[in-house]
Amino acid sequence: MKKEELQLLEYLQSYLTERRLSRFEEVLSNRTRHFTVAVEDVYQLHNTSAVLRSCDIFGIQDVHIIEEMYEDRIDSEIAMGAQKWISISKHESAANCIDHIKSKGYQVVATTPHHDECSLADFDVLAPSCFFFGRETDGLSKAILDRADSYLTIPMYGFTESLNISVSAAIILQSVTRKLRNSDIQWRLPEEEQLELKLDWCKKTIKSIDSILERYQQSL
């Protein structure tokens, strides 16, 4: 982070309570980019929003939303403000999303009930992974399934074939992040990234931030 940004962060922190700053520190210390999540063309607003909420709860910082068919799949009431704390990237196609994910060193993990390659309990958390979740009715597209590095299933023992996407995401993220936190993997964000997020969160938290930033610039 540049010196100017550090000075701005210090300035903005003066507008926040000690309780809020302490909360930022606590949450940042539990954030990770070892795992990320991608959601493909989910139709129901509440489903994508609920996935965002689960990502925030379990410490996943980055979420990728594929909008090849549907756009603006976020409902602020259901996301409970999670979109403010999560880094969201939008992609026009599954291919573009996968290319981006793989360029960042992630393996593509397709979550699907139709492949029994790896059960959730046996998933190895060592490799940086992006978990892909698909449409409510059709699941993941062939474009993603064909390029997946691995397939992940949640064991089910009833008549129902699949779970709601938001439920699946919560179950999977709880399981893999628990394993990750109990491992020796260096999963936490580097200090530089934590500072960058803190600055972003300050800007999103402080009321009348535009006028405050304007006064700050005038004081330089």
* Residue type at position 206: I
21 and 121 fall within a common domain: no
| pLDDT tens readout for residues 189-210 | 999 999 999 999 999 999 999 9
> pTM for the complete prediction?
0.90
**Domain region containing 118:** 32-187
Closest by CA position to 98, among listed 47, 137, 149: 149
Contacts of 24 (CB under 8 A, 6+ apart): 16, 198, 201
Q: Are residues 68 and 17 in the same domain?
A: no
Residue 76: its pLDDT value, please?
46
Q: Are residues 91 and 141 in the same domain?
A: yes
Q: Which residue has the tokens 């936190």?
A: 181
Q: Across-strand partners of 81?
A: none
Is there a contact between 172 and 152 (Cβ–Cβ < 8 Å)? yes
Structural domain tally of the chain? 2
Confidence check: pLDDT of 71 > 60: no
- Asked if residue 95 and residue 26 are part of one domain, the reply reads no
Residues 135, 63, single domain; the answer is yes
CATH number, domain containing residue 52? 3.40.1280.10
Is 38 in a helix, a strand, or coil? Answer: strand
Quick one: pLDDT at residue 75? 44
pLDDT at 97: 95
Identify whether residues 179 and 83 lie together within a single domain: yes
The contacts of residue 1 (CB under 8 Å, 6+ apart) are: 9, 192, 195, 196, 199
What is the per-residue pLDDT for 57? 96
Q: Looking at the structure, tell me whether residues 84 and 177 fall in a common domain.
A: yes
Mean pLDDT of the region 133-141: 80
pLDDT-derived band at 136, boundaries 50, 70, 90: low
